[in-house]
Amino acid sequence: MAEVAEIDALMRPYQGKVPGASVLVVRRGEQVLRRAYGQADLESDVPATPLTNYRLASLTKQFTAAAIALLVEARRLGFDDLAGRWLPELPASAGAIRLRHLLTHTSGLIDYEDLIPAGTEVALRDADVLGLLAAEPRLYFAPGTGFRYSNGAYALLALIVERAAGIDFASFLRERIFA
């Protein structure tokens, strides 16, 4: 199929001993292409596969924010809800953090990546981020008084989506946004 050859050509920079990529093309509900290129792990020489779990990081923030907005629209939560309403594990220092602060990077949360114990080699899940932040009594600044980009805030928002919706984050995104 000519389209597959065109996609292979576009993906040429991802072939060989380079960081990889996985591609799925669906047209009218039919799978046209499902292929991986390059490496999932360069150090261990592990090739990427169509099932490789990539760390999407900031690419998911718009979907997390949309999920929160959908739950606000459905009156399951509010932008001015205190984060502690949904995440009672958070320390007292986080008591004034509202969902809008998490969404707008104005929560003052400490960067969880600075809290990861030395020698940790496994990827952290959102619940792990909550655990790290729950044990941290400090904030960078009082919520709403400053700005600092926060990956941790979005990990917390994903957990809030799960708790407010009653289903896991991936299922919520699949059902309410992607499907």
Active site residue 171: no
How far, in Å, CA of 65 to CA of 68, rounded? 5
Point out the catalytic residue in the list 44, 58, 150, 171.
Answer: 58
How far, in Å, CA of 144 to CA of 14, rounded? 42
Residue 93 is encoded by which pair of tokens? 């220092």
Please name the helix (run of DSSP H) or strand (run of DSSP E) that holds residue 154, with its range, or none.
helix 151-165
Burial classification of residue 67, based on how many CB atoms lie within 10 Å of its CB (0-12 exposed, 13-18 middle, 19 or more buried): buried
**Residues labelled catalytic:** 58
